[in-house]
Amino acid sequence: MFSQKRVFEIIEKGQADDRASRYCDLFLFSLIVLNLLAVCLETIDSLYAQYRTVFTLIELISVSIFSIEYALRIWSCAAAPDGKQKVRQPNALAIYSALRALLIYWQFYQALFRFFLAALICAGFAFCG
């Protein structure tokens, strides 16, 4: 299991000698570029009609990943070394941003919760039966 300190090191700007941190930065950068490209392409009606499912999947997966990343940032901020971050606990702005994102994507989170709940129930029946 990762400690708060290690999660903070990975999520913060990558160090040259830390592969996990560099891969995390590269992955998040690639995901942002993919999102920008998808948003631009879905404004073209013919492409949106043809690839609607792909655009929806990109959005759902991206929101999930960015939500996890944001939660990890809030959780690991207490492990910031001195001078690196002045606020050691999640501040009001971070909480407001998280609540705003929760409200914006409420339907998505409900669907995601139902999916995981159904998957757990199915897995439980498969395991027990």
pLDDT digits (tens, 9 = 90+) for 80-102: 776 555 555 556 666 666 677 76
Show Cβ contacts of residue 51 under 8 Å, excluding neighbours closer than 6 positions. Answer: 41, 42
Q: What is the pLDDT of residue 51?
A: 92
Q: What is the pLDDT of residue 92?
A: 63
Q: What is the pLDDT of residue 71?
A: 81
Task: Please write the tens of the pLDDT for every residue from 12-68.
Answer: 877 778 888 889 888 989 999 998 899 899 999 999 999 999 988 888 888 888 888
Cα dihedral 99, 40, 58, 66 in deg (nearest 10) = -30
Nearest to 74 by CA among 25, 4, 129: 4
Q: What is the pLDDT of residue 100?
A: 73
Query: What band does 123 get if pLDDT is binned at 50, 70 and 90?
Result: low
CA distance 27 to 39: 18
- Mapped onto helix, strand or coil, the DSSP state of residue 26 is helix
Q: What is the pLDDT of residue 95?
A: 67
Q: What is the pLDDT of residue 61?
A: 85
Nearest to 14 by CA among 27, 3, 25, 30: 25
DSSP 85-114: -S--S--HHHHHHHHHHHHHTHHHHHHHHH
The pLDDT of residue 116 is above 80 = no
26-32: long-range contacts, CB 8 A cutoff, minimum separation 24: 28/69, 31/62, 31/65, 31/66
Q: What is the pLDDT of residue 80?
A: 73
Length of the chain: 129
Q: Which tokens is 51 given?
A: 């690839």
CA distance 61 to 116: 14
Q: What is the pLDDT of residue 85?
A: 54
